[in-house]
Structure 1
Amino acid sequence: MDKVTSFGKNFTASFTPFAARTQQYVKEQLGQAEDKTQLPPDYIELEKRVDALKQVHQKMLQVTNQYSSEAYDYPANIKESFGDLSRTVSEKVQLLASATTPAEAQAALTAPPSAKPQPKTFPHAIARASLASSHLLQQQHAGAGEDPLATALEKYALASERVGEARLAQDAQIQSRFLAGWSTTLNTNLIFATRARKSVENSRLLLDAAKTKSKAGGWHMPGQQNQGHQDEEIASEEARVEIEQAEDEFVGQTEEAVGVMKNVLDTPEPLRNLADLIAAQLEFHRKAYEILSELAPVVDGLQVEQEVKRSQDFS
């Protein structure tokens, strides 16, 4: 029986605040609440800043999460076979170099995979298309020396594959140093701030409910009458204590929420993560620039040689 009584007291203790908050919330929504405790202007400003920070994280992650998908720049209109993705361009070039017959050259392009299928990125797709095109030209140019365009396409294939690998390295850096950090801020720090603000709202509702209850002379069962002046004094004292306790709780929750929100807003992690994102992008573009800078004069040289040879043939 004692356990049942204890359970009843605990249930009442937990249910009463919930009922009071709910009743106060409904009154406010219906416009029936006379007074509503106002939050400090500085607190409201912090809330706005936290909301803005949350929106920034959601918007940026919505776009930059593409770095988690290997094929975010892979052309949707191309169809590559299992053989196309079987080996790296570098491996195929080596196999082609050692081929002595057209059959061996063709086998080199369709050799069984040495590891996992090759990446589906735009630079890798360009590399595979360039190598296949180079091979097609060489097949038709057999016995007539090297085809300058075929040579250039092969070199372009090798360079594009290196660019593709640099892009994958960039993506890995962004995933670990930017996406992970911003996701943590969104899913952990900002959630802590949301919970702290919810506690403030709950304590504010309880405070206003206590004030409303005091003005109404307490909550009575239907037909219940006040039992004289002494009972009114007791009720008034109980209401005063209840309001003071609710005010203390409200102030405490507000101070705690202010600390949590300031911590979220002042942390340097998001800016540090953004710097890492930019550094990863910069490193990728630097490598791509270096790779293509090495390739460009080689292809230009092949072009000049072809033009000189063409002019000599016509002279």
Structure 2
Amino acid sequence: MSGFDFNKSFQSLQGSVSGISQSFTPFAKRTTRLIQERLGNAEDKTELPEEYLELERRIDALKLVHQKLLSVTSQYENEGYDYPPNLRESFVDLSRTISEKVTTLSHAQSAQEAQNILTSPGSQKEPKTLNHALGRAALAGSESLSSSSDSQPLANALQKYAVAEEKIGEARLSQDQLIVTRFNAAFTTTLNTSIQFATKARRNVQNARLTLDAAKASAKVAKPEKQAAAQIEVEHAEDEFVAATEEAVSVMKNVLDTPEPLRNLLELITAQLAFHKAASEILGDLLPEIETLQSEQESTYRKSRETS
């Protein structure tokens, strides 16, 4: 069995340490330079072109637009964003859709049968939105009044209102789904890809500038016999800095010039318009029916007062 060769092992370890040191040196130099700049001890900081700085400001603004809008539109991913926080509805309330209840109630032959319809589970669960909650409350009120003939007009009106609110609620859910898939997803992708690519390119410029300035600082204090090598290092760093800056400018321009964000905003507005248009049409169709019921009740009320 051969003995342990200490010299050979030491040389191997020394080579490994040297390799690590060489790979770590650029990072160490950049870090040292950055610390010096933050402490105000660095001289001759390389200035970035004004065109580049303007592109950075525009990219930051675009990023802020995406972040701020997404912080709001992400609420569309939560079905109950407008659901009353203190409202307590039972499983029975939510276990059958309003339309389903109204349809089956129209065939009920007795109050007991109507009650059974209202309390039995249905085929679909009711969503938790403000419009659906309004509809459920209105339908419950309609059923509580239906046993009184004097309250029949109001009971009928509440039932019609309940159906209308459910339709509006469904339109709101359709809007939300469109916003989530066509706006939120697209804006998130831009934020996590295109803008992130620009951020990475800017980081490369920052690193290249720090490397260049560190090389310049080293060249200023280099010994005469190392001046040539130091100057070569500066020239190489300058080439890297120019290449990184040109690449970043190209990336940032591409991000800023793409029509994708405006296209996404159009999708958001289109989804909102479709919802509000549907809500307006539903309520517009409902209003004359309620006005007719109200007019008929007013007429009946006046006649009853005249004969009494």
The TM tier, using the shorter chain, reads over 0.9
Q: Give the aligned residue type for 1:276.
A: E
What are the equivalent positions in structure 2 for 1:7-26 lying under 5 Å apart? 7-26=16-35
Give the SS at the match of 1:84: helix
Query: Aligned partners of 1:93, 1:147: CA distance in 2, in Å?
Result: 15
Cα pair 2:145 2:151 within 8 Å, conserved: no
Query: Is 2:33–2:210's contact at 8 Å kept on the other side of the alignment?
Result: yes
Partner Cα distance (2:248, 2:144) in 1:
68
Counterpart in the other structure of 1:183: 188
After TM superposition, list the pairs within 5 Å mapping 1:67-146 onto structure 2.
Answer: 67-115=76-124, 117-139=125-147, 141=148, 144=149
Residues 83 and 133, structure 2, Cα contact 8 Å, conserved in 1 = yes
Give the alignment's TM-score, normalised by structure 1: 0.90
User: Cα deviation per residue 1:174-196 (whole Å; 9 max; x = unaligned)?
Assistant: 00111111111112211111111
Aligned match of 1:165 in 157, 166, 170?
A: 170
* Equivalent AA in structure 2 for residue 283 of structure 1: A
Partners of 2:286 and 2:295 lie apart in 1 by: 14
State percent identity of aligned pairs: 55
Match of 1:38 in 2: 47
Distance 1:10 1:175 in 2: 50
Partners of 2:196 and 2:65 in 1: CA distance: 15
User: Hey, what's the Cα distance between the residues in 1 that align with 2:264 and 2:90?
Assistant: 38
155, 158, 178: which one aligns with 1:153: 158
Please give the per-residue CA displacement for 1:77-110, whole angstroms capped at 9, x wherever unaligned: 2111000000100001122112212221111111
Cα 1:199–1:287 change in 2 (3 A) is: same
CA distance in 2, matches of 1:6, 1:63: 56
Per the TM alignment, residue 39 of structure 1 is displaced from its structure 2 partner at its CA by 0.4
Aligned with 1:213 (options 198, 201, 218)? 218
- 1:276 equivalent to 2:276? Answer no
Measure the CA separation in 2 of the matches of 1:75 and 1:19: 56
Number of the residue aligned with 2:232: 241
Q: Which one-letter code corresponds to 1:121 in the other structure?
A: T
Change (3 A) 1:174 1:313: same
Report the TM-score when normalising by structure 2. Answer: 0.92
Structure 1 gap segments, 5+ residues each:
219-231
Mean Cα deviation higher: 26-35 or 66-75: 26-35
SS of residue paired to 1:112: coil
User: 1:214-238 CA distances to partner (integer Å, 9 max, x unpaired)?
Assistant: 11116xxxxxxxxxxxxx24x1110
The residue that corresponds to 2:6 in the other structure is: none
CA–CA distance in structure 2, aligned partners of residues 272 and 134 of structure 1? 45
- Give me the CA root mean square deviation: 1.6
Q: Equivalents in 1 of 2:43, 2:297: separation in Å? A: 90
Quote the Cα distance in structure 1 between the aligned partners of 2:87 and 2:207: 57
SS in 1 for 2:166: helix
| Whole-angstrom CA distance in 2 between matches of 1:265 and 1:62 | 21
Q: CA deviation at 1:3?
A: 7.4
